[in-house]
Every structure is written in structure tokens, then in C-alpha cells.
Structure 1
Amino acid sequence: MTAILPDHFLWGASTAGHQVDGGDTAADTTFLESVSPSVFKEPAGDACRSWERWADDLDLIKGMGLNSYRFSVEWARIEPEEGNVDQDALDHYDRMVDGCLERGIDPAITLCHFTIPSWFAAKGGWLNHDAPAMFADECVRVLDRIGDRVALAVTFNEPDLPRILDNGSLPQEAVDLQRACINAATKKAGVKQYRSGNVVIPEEVTQLEFGFIRAHRAAVQAVRSVRPELPVGLSLAVIDESYRTEEGKKLAMAKRRSCYGPWAQAVQGDDFVGVQNYEREIFGDDGPVPAQPGEEVNETGTALHPESLVNAVNYIHHLTGLPVVVTEHGVSTQDDELRCRFLKASIPPLIELVRDGVPVLGYFHWSLLDNYEWISAFDVHFGLCSVDREHGTFDRTPKKSAGVYRDIVANTVI
């Protein structure tokens, strides 16, 4: 049976379990947050309490006039101990899917959004030879339960990110801290190697990449064994590499070959490929050119280039030959007026791409909420809605940008 691609454009927002749920006690990231030294600025803790307040999140999605919600189904919740499947967790995701459908929202699920069970990390994570089989079992478990009601399945979130970070995107002190964190976790767990998918040491990037590719292929096969009609793929972090000089062109193309080349082959046979774009990287003779005076920048000081989205989508579509879903796109900023301008400048060119016949199936904004952003904790802000953690209410408040996004969706005919 051939996968049934969505017959309408998916307008949505994305979240990830560890970043919004709270109380994710069995996850590797929680364990890594607790060691000393840790690469994480602080623990996720309660995050946004979406495990309890998922219905509120769905109401926000509906209130913005969106027709889809991408969320992750957390393996660490479902199998907190090896061989011990938590039926209550499966019931939780079952209710979420039904809650989506009751509101006219198509659920899009991510089967692994970085976090994994701590027991799995203690076995070497994705470096373990048996990892693909273990992940395939988890995929079958999930798809057996909710696969009949979801719009698409993403196996992995940004499995190319370790390679991108290894290509000079992390300062040396961050690399050293990641190594110290992994070593501390290995010692605390009392195992040979405690390994994560998003805290990586440079000499293991190639091995991890190979592990991700093997596990992705096993996951696709597992999904199709249960739900052959369900579109399945993975999402890639895609920086819009550009250049100003001939030497810069060589550097940009070399980075593209290194970061995306292995995945062009790995996704062959998939139903779609997810593109996650946040920025453009412009290369000169000596490498990436920093933001110039007067350019608008995000919270980390990176210059914003709204055209990076369509450039990234075009590049990955032509590289892979597959339909594209924009599974993440957004901007980290506390200046919501900047987010509003960024949305207005970024999305219309994407729609023109669709009208020109490029098979883009949907757009998911990152993120629905100001959430836990990994090593930066709560210090960067991607949300269309704020979350009141300061007073302990965790109440959600839509920002002006949520209204801007709603209006773009309402006024766009594809």
C-alpha cells in the first residue's frame, strides 16, 4: 500500500516532550541535567507542564486557526525501564490524538525528538549495535496504538545536528563541557559508556551518524509494517549556507557535503523529508561572516535572513527528490515585534514556492510555547505563546505573533 500524503496544506506548530511536558524523570536528558559538570544550564523540571495541560495547548492551536500539531511521543515515558511498558503513557498519547481530532487538528508525531530512555543511553544509546531493533520495537508499539489517527510520522528530529555542530558551530569550551558531562554521566551510571543523541563528543559523530541512519531505516520499516498508508520520514536541521567569495563558496559547499550528503541517501524511499531552518550562514574567505551592523539578530546574535527558509526547502527538495514538510521554523527573541516581522517576511515566499509546484506539504512553527531550550534552558524564547513559570501558574498567553500567524493562515489560499 502506498502512503497517503495529506490532501491539504498542514498549518501547525511544533513542540517536543522533554521541552514542554515536565517531570520527564526516566529520560537521558534528565540524567545529564543532574550530573556535575552538566552542559545544561539548569534542569527542565516542570518545563511547561504540558503533560497535564496538553488540552490547553490544543486549544491554543485551534484558536490560531491551525489544522495540525506536531508533538513528540516520548520513548522514556512509554518504556521507562527496559521491558516495562507503561500503559498509562500510551493512554495519554491516545487521549492527545483524540483531543486533536475533536478540534479538527491533524496530529503529526515525532518518534524520537533527541531524548531517549536513560536505560537505553546506559547501553550506549545509538552507538549500540542493537539500537535499531530496540527503536523499531518502540515504533511498532506506538503505531499499533495511535497510528490509525495521525497524519504523518517523523522518526528522528535533526539527526544531522551533531555533524553540523561538529563543523564549527560550537565553541571549544562547549565541546569540552559536553565531554565532561558525558564522562560524568558514564561514571554516575556505572556503565562502560552512557551516550545521548544530543550531547556528543567529536570523535563519535561519524559512529553516531551511522547509528542514526541504521535506526531510521529500521523505524521506517517498522512504521510501514503496522501502518503502510502512513507517510513517514525524518527531519533535518538545514542552515542556508551561502557565500560572498570563491573561497567562501568552497567552504560552504564542503559543509553541505559533510552535513547533508549522508542524509540524501539515507532518506531515499521515505515519503517526505522534514526541513528545520532558523538561519543563514554566509561564508567568506575565512569562514562564516558575523552579523553586520544594523542587521536584525536573534537572541544568540545571529543575523536574520527571512529568505533562508525557501532557500533551505528548495535545496533539500532538489537534493533528495522528496516532498518537504517544514517541521520547524522560527526565531529566538524576546522582541515579539521582530517575530511578527520575521513571520510576515518568511512565509509568503514559501507559499509562492508551493504555487510554483514545489511539493511542500506543510509548515510548522517552532514553537507553540516558550519552552525549555536544552543547554540554554529558559533563556531563549521561540514561543508564539508565553508561559508563566515565575508565579507557578504555567498559564499560557498568546503573543501578538500568534495573531499574525493566525491571520497569515486565514488569508492564504493555496
Structure 2
Amino acid sequence: MTEFPEGFLWGVATAGHQTEGGNTAGDTWFLENVHPTLFREPSGPACRSYDRYEEDLDLAAGMGLNAYRFSVEWARVEPARGEVSTTALDHYERVVDAALARGLAPVVTFNHFTSPHWFSAAGSWLAPDAADRFADQVDRVVARFGDRIHTAVTLNEPNLEQLLQAGGKLPPAAEQLKVDMLAAAARAAGTERYFSSNVIPAAFQDEFREAFTIAHRAGRAAAKARRADLPVGISLAVAHEVARPGGEARRDARRAAVYDHWLRVAREDDFVGVQNYETLFHGPDGEVVPDGARNGMGSVIDPGSLAGAVRYAHEVSGVPVLVTEHGLQTDDDAQRAAFLPATLDRLATEIDAGTPVLGYCHWTLLDNFEWIFGYGPKLGLVAVDRETFTRTPKPSATVYADCVRRARGGRRTAGERRDLPVPA
């Protein structure tokens, strides 16, 4: 693997609701606990990262990383409309300062799917004042510690539902359960309707895309008003779409349905975040499923997927790419340990070919709460005991640390640990 550009961000990505635990004022928490629910289990204490964030930062620094992506949970900062918690803002300021103290550049996401319950009960992103309320949240965060944020992401994967529905990933029964869950949530909240950012019925996709677009622009403007030089972008779910002979029209139609609107929006931004987990192969009559080892999502494991997604995102947007998420869902950590260096080799080749990439944040640091799938899927570099919450680095954590060291020409960082597990 060749050396990556100077200033390249090497990090891990996390999200508040998935790791912090006890996010009781959030809409996701509310949906986890209604009946019927699409969620396999409630998030509960998650990984207890709200209290153990310094331990998590130590793990990231111990791998020789220089970046840490996390979300500021709006539901904690504004648990009721107009009631701002200085305690929560104090907490996230401590997280930022603790990251900086360990040499980790804070990459802050303003909304990683979960929003306040009051916001979603009032119409979510479709409410007339939704973008203004989001801009207010961005403003208060940047006002508090924006001078210490390295990079900011407004919204996480606003195209996720389009990706899932365009690919037929949600069976009709799951779509109906989603509708039934949201109806139950509306009844329980005493409101006309209830939505959440990653639980959107198919009939509302177009409305949400427009609302997310307005909110992203409002959030970016709020951040820039406080700090004009803060790099701001949006993170998108981007599969590598490959056309087999005769499958070009199908591939292009999917790109147009899932990515192209957002990549055009990103032309106004400082970068576009790419979150890549799979390669999809298109033939003239539908998706082609090649032979090969598969990840936990059922997709073929393809180390070239990330480079392909990054290339397309830059070609359409024209702005630099930040890999805000990339990983492998698997219970077999040996697969992850082999997948990481192969992927990063191909990413290095793509950068050498001229595609501007600002950094790579692996999803994720900890085995955590993976939304409707609960604690089943494993994507972390670090295992978490569900009873004691003890963190145990996996062999893939050592492999990632070794990749980063080689990418830097063998240089170690001050906080890097020598006692991570030896790869099997």
C-alpha cells in the first residue's frame, strides 16, 4: 500500500444513539418501544459510551488514528421543544476536547438518523419549520465548540431508504410493518402522523428527499454563519453499481434514483461523504449475483467496492470525497482482517489515479446497536460484552492499525498502543 496524502484522516465512525445508551428523548427510542415495532430489540444501554467515551477515544488513539467521527444527539441537547440542555452541550464539548487531547480530529455529525421525539411527533422533516429547527440545533452546537470541530456532516444517509427500496431490500411485509409501527407511534404520541429519518414509508420518499435537501442547506448555512471555514458536507449511502453486458440502462436508472440528486446537491458543499458497504451487479434482466464469499448483508465481499463508489461520487459531484463509513458486517473477524488491507490498497490506487479523497472512517469502532436489526450484526473493530460492556479489540483492529502505519510510511503516533491483539 502506497503512502496516502499528507493530512489524510484515518478514523473510526460512531453514532450517538447506537453507542451512548439511554437516549430516551429520541424518536428511535420511542419507535423501539411501541407495538408493533420493526425493531428487533430496544437499544437500552447500547454500549454505555455516553459515560465511557474516554475509553472509546483511547481505543481509537491506540490504533494510531487521527480522526473520530461521532454525532451530537439533538434529542439530548433539546429534549423538549425550546428547552436546551446546557448539561448535554457540556458533555459533547468534553468529547470534542478529549478527542483533541488524544490527537483525534473531531468529525461531527449534526443528525445521525435520530431526532427528538417532539420533532418527529410534530411532523418530522415534513413540518413547515423543520429546517429552521435543525438550523437552530446546528447553530447552538457550532456556537459552543465549532471552533474545535475539524469537519462537519449535516445529515447521515438521507438517501438510505431510496437505496433499500430501489434494490428491493425491504420485503413487502417489512414495509407494511413500518407503516403499522409509525401509525402506532402517532397514536401513542397523540399526533396525526409520526416519522423518523431512517423509517420512511415508500409513499413519502419524494417529500422527504425535498425536505432533507432544504434541511441540509439550512444546516450548512447555519454552520458557515458561525464559522465560514468549517468544512461541511453530507454523507450518502453509495453502493458500487457495476453493469454487466446489457445492464448499463438498469445501472444508470438506479444511480439516477438513489444517488444523483444528492451528488448534484453536494456540488455546493466542501466535500461529499461516501458510506459504502456493497457492490451490486446489473444485468439486462435484473441484478446478477456472482459467486464468492458473502458478508452478513448477503452481498459478495468486494474489496474494490469502496474505490468504485468513491470514483462515481466524485465524478458526479466534482468535490472531494470523505469516506465517512465503510466496513464489513460479519461474525468472522478474519474476513474483516483480510478485507481491510485489500480495500485500502484499491483506495490508494484510486487516489493515485486522481480522485481526491480526504480521509477514511471505518464503521465502526464498537459492535453496537444496528437499528432495526438490534445487536445481531457485527461491524465493530472492538467487541462489547453485552452484560459488562467490557471492550475487547479484535484482530482486525490490529490490522487496521498496521494499515494506517504503513500508509504513513511506518510512522507511529504518540498514543498508539503496542498491545493490541495479534491477527490470527
Q: Find the partner of 2:393 among 398, 403, 407.
A: 398
d(CA) in 1 for partners of 2:288, 2:32: 33
- Say yes or no: does 1:329 pair with 2:335: no
Displacement of 1:131: 0.5
The worse-fitting range, judged by mean Cα deviation, of 263-272 and 65-74 is 263-272
d(CA) in 2 for partners of 1:298, 1:265: 31
Displacement of 1:304: 1.0
- Say yes or no: does 1:169 pair with 2:146: no
d(CA) in 2 for partners of 1:116, 1:158: 14
d(CA) in 2 for partners of 1:32, 1:410: 42
Report what 1:306 is aligned to. 303
SS in structure 1 of the partner of residue 100 of structure 2: helix
- Say yes or no: does 1:89 pair with 2:88: yes
SS in structure 1 of the partner of residue 319 of structure 2: coil
> What letter matches 1:100 in structure 2?
A
Q: Deviations over 1:339-385 (max 9, x none)?
A: 01110110111122223332100000000000000011011000000
d(CA) in 2 for partners of 1:328, 1:228: 25
SS in structure 2 of the partner of residue 148 of structure 1: helix
d(CA) in 2 for partners of 1:65, 1:179: 44
Displacement of 1:291: 4.9
Report what 2:268 is aligned to. 269
Report what 1:60 is aligned to. 59
Report what 2:373 is aligned to. 376
- Say yes or no: does 1:245 pair with 2:242: no
> What letter matches 1:206 in structure 2?
D
Contact 2:278 2:300 (8 Å CA) reproduced: yes
> What letter matches 2:309 in structure 1?
A
CA gap of 1:169–1:388, structure 2 versus 1, over 3 A, is same
- Say yes or no: does 1:196 pair with 2:193: no
Give the unaligned 5+ runs of structure 2: 410-424
* Superposition pairs of residues 131-210 of structure 1, within 5 angstroms: 131-167=130-166, 168-210=168-210
Displacement of 1:283: 1.4
Contact 2:303 2:346 (8 Å CA) reproduced: no
d(CA) in 2 for partners of 1:82, 1:288: 45
Report what 1:111 is aligned to. 110
- Say yes or no: does 1:285 pair with 2:284: yes
d(CA) in 2 for partners of 1:145, 1:186: 34
d(CA) in 2 for partners of 1:317, 1:244: 22
d(CA) in 2 for partners of 1:345, 1:127: 42
d(CA) in 2 for partners of 1:351, 1:261: 25
Contact 1:291 1:301 (8 Å CA) reproduced: no
SS in structure 2 of the partner of residue 169 of structure 1: coil
d(CA) in 2 for partners of 1:165, 1:349: 26
SS in structure 2 of the partner of residue 411 of structure 1: helix
SS in structure 1 of the partner of residue 259 of structure 2: helix
Displacement of 1:93: 0.4
Contact 2:22 2:45 (8 Å CA) reproduced: yes
d(CA) in 2 for partners of 1:22, 1:322: 35
SS in structure 2 of the partner of residue 363 of structure 1: strand
> What letter matches 1:245 in structure 2?
P
d(CA) in 2 for partners of 1:7, 1:243: 34
Displacement of 1:312: 0.2
Displacement of 1:8: 0.4
Give the unaligned 5+ runs of structure 1: 1-5
d(CA) in 2 for partners of 1:275, 1:30: 27
Report what 2:414 is aligned to. none
d(CA) in 2 for partners of 1:354, 1:141: 36
Report what 2:231 is aligned to. 231
d(CA) in 2 for partners of 1:171, 1:305: 25
With the length of structure 2 as denominator, give the TM-score of the two structures: 0.94
> What letter matches 2:265 in structure 1?
A
Displacement of 1:413: 3.5
Q: Deviations over 1:198-245 (max 9, x none)?
A: 111111000001000000000110000001111000000001111223
> What letter matches 2:310 in structure 1?
V
d(CA) in 1 for partners of 2:352, 2:68: 23
Displacement of 1:300: 2.7
Displacement of 1:278: 0.5
SS in structure 2 of the partner of residue 181 of structure 1: helix
Tell me how many residue pairs correspond in the alignment.
Answer: 404
d(CA) in 1 for partners of 2:408, 2:61: 18
Displacement of 1:34: 0.6
d(CA) in 1 for partners of 2:297, 2:10: 27
d(CA) in 1 for partners of 2:349, 2:267: 26
d(CA) in 2 for partners of 1:208, 1:359: 30
Report what 2:37 is aligned to. 38
Displacement of 1:148: 0.4
d(CA) in 2 for partners of 1:201, 1:85: 31
Report what 1:3 is aligned to. none
d(CA) in 1 for partners of 2:353, 2:257: 30
d(CA) in 1 for partners of 2:211, 2:269: 18
Displacement of 1:266: 1.6
Contact 2:264 2:316 (8 Å CA) reproduced: no
Q: CA RMSD in A?
A: 1.2
d(CA) in 1 for partners of 2:266, 2:340: 29
